[in-house]
Amino acid sequence: MASNRPLSPHLSIWKWRVHMATSIAHRVTGNALAFGGVVLFTWWLAAAASGKDAYTSFATIASGPIGWIVWVGLSWVFFQHLCSGLRHLVMDSGRGFALAASKLSATWVFIGAIILTIVFWSVFLLGSGIR
């Protein structure tokens, strides 16, 4: 039986804009921090509690190339979520709803997360002597 009722809007009819990307990235990064961070923390804790061999295995993987990709990625996820959360905090105060301001702040969320990730790892690598 065919219905003449209008269909609900779907992602396919919306134009992709930086506001939408920021909103989706905020949700994805929140889940990545919650689940990915918990898995990594649990793995580290279990390895530390299981003895020297288990911890050595964890440390070897965590300090290898895949580990570095995960750590840098997780730090970018953290800073992306942080910057987006700060944007939401400002918007919750009633500011930044004008289209130009909203677009600018959404763009700066991505730029800020990249800059903060680079600064974080630069300081970490310089401070630790790892090159």
**Mean pLDDT calculated for residue range 91-111:** 96
pLDDT for 14 beyond 90: no
Distance CA 93, CA 120 (A): 29
Distance CA 131, CA 17 (A): 38
Let me know: does 106 contact 21? Beta carbons within 8 Å: yes
pLDDT at residue 111, rounded to an integer? 98
pLDDT for 131 beyond 90: no
CATH topology of domain 19-128: 3 helical TM bundles of succinate and fumarate reductases (1.20.1300)
pLDDT at residue 35, rounded to an integer? 94
pLDDT at residue 6, rounded to an integer? 67
pLDDT for 20 beyond 70: yes
37 CB-near residues (< 8 Å, 6+ apart): 74
Structure tokens at 101: 């301001």
**Mean pLDDT calculated for residue range 24-45:** 95
Q: Read off the pTM.
A: 0.84
Distance CA 38, CA 59 (A): 17
- Across the chain, mean pLDDT equals 91
Distance CA 59, CA 15 (A): 44
